[in-house]
Amino acid sequence: MTQSSATVPAPRYGVERWGRLSISFTAFAVALAVAFAFVPVLFSLGTTQKATSLLILVLLAAMWNALAGYGGLVSVGQQAFIGLGAYATVWLCNHDWNPYRAMIVAALFCAGVSVPLSFLVLRFRGAQFAIGMWVVAEAAAILVSLDQSLGAGTGTSLIELNYYTPTQRQHYTYWLTLGITVFFLALLFLLLRSRLGSSLQAIRDDEDAAASVGVRVLRGKWILFVIAGAGCGAAGAMTLANTLFIEPTSIFGVDWTAYMIFMVLVGGLGTFEGPIIGAIVLFVIQNEFGDNGVWYLVGLGAAAIGFALLLPRGIWGTLEERFGLRVMPVGYRLRREGT
Amino acid sequence: MSLLAVTGLDARHGLLQAVRGVSLEIDEGETVALVGANGAGKTTLLRSIAGAHRPAGGRVAFDGRDVTSVPAHKRVGLGIALVPEGRRLFPQLTVEENLLVARQRRNGADWDVDRVLEAFPMLKPLRDHRASTLSGGQQQATAIGRALMTNPRLLLLDEVSLGLAPVAVDDVYRSLKTLIDGGTTVVLVEQDLRRALQAADRVVCMLEGRLVLEGRAEELSRERITDAYFGLKAEAAR
Amino acid sequence: MTWVNAVVQGILLGGLYALLGCGLAVMFGVMRIINLAHGDLAVLGAYLVMVVLDHANVSPFLALLPVLPVMLLVGYGLQVTILERSLRSGVLVPLLTTFGLSIVIQNLLLEQFSPDVRSLGGEAGSVATASWQVTNDISISAIGGLVLGVAVLVLGGLQLFLSRTQAGRQMRATAQDPDTAELVGVNARAVYARATAIAVAIAAVAGLFMAIRSTFFPFAGPTQLIFAFEAVVIGGLGSLWGTLAGGIVLGVAQTIGAQIDPQYSVLAGHLVFLAVLASPRGGLFSIRGATT
């Protein structure tokens, strides 16, 4: 090498977690959450109920994304927890619990159930896990429908909620849903920023390689599984409170998975912001086109196919990739000092 | 006209440029040894010739015809066969099935299962054994035999001696010699310079994706090749 | 003795599940695709036979003949348009696209035909109702025996195809290493399309027998899908004869469950499925983690 070159000092880099965009957006998100608390006060009961549905969708999307996007666990059976959460609430209320406390306990119950269940299902990979969870949901649905005290096959409602006025009921339901949704989102956010977050990313990219550098793969997946179980259980309880009537076929139905897949796929799998966007998209579609019956569902299915083929990274994922956006500070950035 | 003409080939792995502007011509019946350090781009070059890797730029012409956008399985039909790095046999298929899968019909002196087993007698008793149960040398023989079943005009061999005991490598090269003597055009990627120089008519050396040395095997000294291999002296490609 | 009869009925039922699972096993074995629309494709096959029967007064088995090439084309088209692209984006995407496809098929069927529950048992004539009384307690229905026989034939035929023909060898090779298969002259895309075509056509056959044996309606797909999956997984993913064994185990589990209490029938199948999955082998003919 005879070519001479002027010596240029090597650029210095620093690692940062918060960029300017991240800080402003996180502040915005917190403000938004606070603003959302005022919805029941400012809007009608009907709107509040719709807003509750939206929050439930956000929660479900975030949970499914946590499993599939961060844990690589594709579950076609999260509806098992949705149904369990709802029916656990019914059971507790049958035993004279306050409905809203019952809902929280039902979510915890689902977390509890997910622990022994995880020993069974987390040994499966890929297809076996996906279908295995679905079978668990189907089995749970059958078991519930055989129980008369839970309303059997015809369904049940939460009559204890009648002790509140409709206004109170809708408001309390809304606030509880908001609180739970924000809680789980915050929990996921902190989880992703922690060491576990990097482990999960590694697991998602290459499980064996991650294990070889000491990442505790099973533990990471397990944590996600339990959180998703609790979150979906809470969503189920909230759905019961919001819609008042449930029956086994629908609350344990695989349609829930269809919606979760749609939201996460459209929003962006594996991103933090994606599921939220996907939930908003589904919510808008449901409200605008829900009355079109068959064609609405056909359109939904076709949209899912279209997104999977054309925009596999979803709306947010594509935006992130295109513009190098990092809004929520869950990752690390290499920043050249002096920039 | 040369059998294979590669012009200004660029190939990438994501953002990494593996092959930079490589131009190479190979005549029918020649044996060319392609040498270079790990990561020099040899495998990517072979895969691009075989159609398994899409080049970012440049041209591959086979027998006068532009095959740059022809898919791999069609190139096999035209007469290009690659024995991939690491053998890559179909593990659950038997030796015979591995050979049969690759069978291509062509007029003339066709390779078939019996002829391949004659060329590699060690495989005869292993005919019905699953490929995953074979030793390295046996797998290599099967992999070469499989490529031969496609009746290639151009045979590309990627690191046939990798992971094999020296005795096994001797066997492989003995069989290769028969092939070469029979007139098959061969491009051989080989880490062992001694064997490369023995087997080949011409030697081509790659460094960091570029061709840095090219010449007839008997004319190039080991020192010159070694220098080019490690990039110790800037050598313009002929 | 009624328990023995339950087992016999379960074995016969298993034939249907094996047939349903066969197509699923092919797609998973060759391409690692879980086709969540498989059940709906079987139902689609049943509806197409019904359409043929509306125009021609023949036996449903004859009506199946023109439907088969249509389904082959449907499968081929599916692979080439949607599934191939889905495969490129990773293992998750085919799950999502086939799920979307499932919803589309179900609702298009609903739109085209009413939500009424139907059956083709009537058109099948005596086959659907005849049975052979073996002993006082045990009887073998004609249709049950027929389905089991067809399942064995189809699975056997597939096995022969895979092991004896060049196309079958190519399919196995592509399943194990599509990249290298291309290097030895195999057109992987064409192989995949063939596999899907075969899977969808077999689904149609299964759909026909399901329609004759019992009933069908636009949303019947997912239930059949679960049974098909349970059959494949119990038998061990990637093994064709395993699918037959798995189907039979599932059928027997369901009929024995029904003996205890009709409401427990499907549940018993689910529990056996979970038990098999949880066992060390993870499947009757598979080793956990092994592929074809």
DSSP notation for A177-224: HHHHHHHHHHHHHHHHHSHHHHHHHHHHH-HHHHHHTT--HHHHHHHH
Which range has the worst mean pLDDT, A148-157, A218-227, B59-68?
A148-157
Contacts of C292 in chain B (CB under 8 A): 92
Per residue in C157-175, pLDDT tens? 999 999 999 999 999 999 9
Q: What is the pTM of this model?
A: 0.85
CB contact under 8 A, B102 and C184: yes
Average pLDDT, integer, range A182-193: 88
CB pairs < 8 Å spanning A and C: 115
CB contact under 8 A, C102 and A301: yes
Q: Does A131 touch chain C (CB under 8 A)?
A: yes
- Give bridge partners of residue C141 from the DSSP assignment: C131
Average pLDDT, integer, range A43-54: 87
Give A66's Cβ-side CA count (13 Å radius).
31
Contacts of B82 in chain C (CB under 8 A): 183
Q: Does C89 touch chain A (CB under 8 A)?
A: yes
Contacts of C193 in chain B (CB under 8 A): none
Mean pLDDT (chain C, rounded) = 88
Per residue in B8-30, pLDDT tens? 999 988 778 888 889 999 998 89
Q: Confidence band (pLDDT; 50, 70, 90) for C287?
A: very low
Average pLDDT, integer, range C70-82: 92
A310, closest residue in chain C (CA to CA): C85
Q: Which residue has the higher pLDDT, A331 or C28?
A: C28
The predicted pLDDT at position A95 comes to 87
Mind telling me how many Å the CA of C244 is from chain A's nearest CA? 18
For chain C positions 209-268, those within 8 Å of chain B (CB to CB) are none
CB contact under 8 A, B150 and C186: no
Per residue in A93-122, pLDDT tens? 888 888 888 899 999 999 999 998 888 888
Q: In terms of Cα–Cα distance, which of C282, C120, C283, C151 is closest to C215?
A: C120
CB contact under 8 A, A312 and C93: yes
Mind telling me how many Å the CA of A146 is from chain C's nearest CA? 8
Per residue in A49-102, pLDDT tens? 889 999 999 999 999 999 988 888 888 899 999 999 999 998 888 888 888 888
Per-residue tokens: B78: 């035209």
Give the nearest partner residue to A312 out of C89, C95, C274, using CB atoms. C89
Give the integer Cα–Cα distance in Å for B80 and C42: 43
The chains in contact with chain B, meaning 3 or more Cβ pairs closer than 8 Å, are C
The predicted pLDDT at position B238 comes to 45
Provide CB contacts within 8 A for C197, sequence distance 6+.
C71, C72, C73, C75, C76, C79
Q: Confidence band (pLDDT; 50, 70, 90) for B107?
A: low
CB contact under 8 A, B52 and C183: yes
The predicted pLDDT at position A198 comes to 77
The predicted pLDDT at position B172 comes to 84
C25, closest residue in chain A (CA to CA): A127
**Cα–Cα distances in Å, from C280 out to A128, A136, C233, C277?**
14, 19, 14, 8
Q: Confidence band (pLDDT; 50, 70, 90) for A164?
A: confident
Per residue in A275-299, pLDDT tens? 999 999 999 888 887 777 777 878 8
CB contact under 8 A, B93 and C176: yes
Per residue in A128-138, pLDDT tens? 788 889 999 99
Per-residue tokens: A262: 């749609």
The predicted pLDDT at position B36 comes to 86
Residue A154: pLDDT over 90: no
The predicted pLDDT at position A1 comes to 46
CB contact under 8 A, C180 and B50: no
- Give bridge partners of residue B81 from the DSSP assignment: B155
Per-residue tokens: B11: 């190939």
Per residue in A225-274, pLDDT tens? 999 999 999 999 999 988 888 888 889 988 898 889 889 888 888 888 88
Contacts of A297 in chain C (CB under 8 A): 103, 106-107
Give the integer Cα–Cα distance in Å for B76 and B79: 5
Give the integer Cα–Cα distance in Å for C134 and C155: 27
Share of chain A above pLDDT 70, in %: 90
The predicted pLDDT at position C248 comes to 94
- Which DSSP symbol is given to A9? P
Q: Phi, psi at residue C21, to the nearest 5°?
A: -75, -20
**Cα–Cα distances in Å, from C225 out to A338, C19, C210?**
59, 12, 12
Q: Does C172 touch chain B (CB under 8 A)?
A: yes
Residue C288: pLDDT over 50: no
Residue A185: pLDDT over 50: yes
Average pLDDT, integer, range C195-214: 94
CB contact under 8 A, C274 and A258: no
Q: Confidence band (pLDDT; 50, 70, 90) for A6?
A: low
Give the nearest partner residue to A127 out of C28, C99, C266, using CB atoms. C28
Give the nearest partner residue to B76 out of C170, C173, C185, using CB atoms. C185
Give the integer Cα–Cα distance in Å for B78 and C164: 26
Give the integer Cα–Cα distance in Å for C87 and C158: 24
Residue B46: pLDDT over 70: yes
Contacts of C97 in chain A (CB under 8 A): 304-305, 308-309
Give the nearest partner residue to C185 out of B77, B89, B93, using CB atoms. B77
Instruction: Tell me which residue has tokens 């069927």.
Output: C109
Average pLDDT, integer, range B190-207: 86
CA C73 distance to own-chain centroid: 18
Residue A315: pLDDT over 70: yes
Highest mean pLDDT: which range of A198-207, B1-10, C85-94: B1-10
Mutation target for C interface from A75, A120, A122, A128: give the one with most C CBs within 10 A.
A128
Q: Phi, psi at residue A151, to the nearest 5°?
A: 90, 0
CB contact under 8 A, C274 and A139: yes
Q: In terms of Cα–Cα distance, which of B10, B1, B4 is closest to B155?
A: B4
The predicted pLDDT at position C137 comes to 73
DSSP A228-273: HHHHHHHHHHHHHHHHSEE-HHHHT-THHHHHHHHHHHHH-TT-SS
Mutation target for A interface from C78, C79, C83, C97: give the one with most A CBs within 10 A.
C97
Mind telling me how many Å the CA of A301 is from chain C's nearest CA? 4
Provide CB contacts within 8 A for A57, sequence distance 6+.
A259, A263, A279, A282, A283
CB contact under 8 A, B93 and C169: yes
- With b for 16 or more beta-carbon neighbours within 10 A and e for fewer, the B174-213 pattern comes to ebbeebbeeebbbbbbbebbebbbebbbbbbbbbebbbbb
Q: Is B205:B225 a contact under the CB 8 Å cutoff?
A: yes
The predicted pLDDT at position B80 comes to 93
The predicted pLDDT at position A336 comes to 63
Which range has the worst mean pLDDT, A229-233, A308-312, B115-119, B135-139?
A308-312
CB contact under 8 A, C172 and B104: no
Q: Is B199:B188 a contact under the CB 8 Å cutoff?
A: yes
Provide CB contacts within 8 A for C8, sequence distance 6+.
C134, C138, C140
Mind telling me how many Å the CA of C126 is from chain A's nearest CA? 35
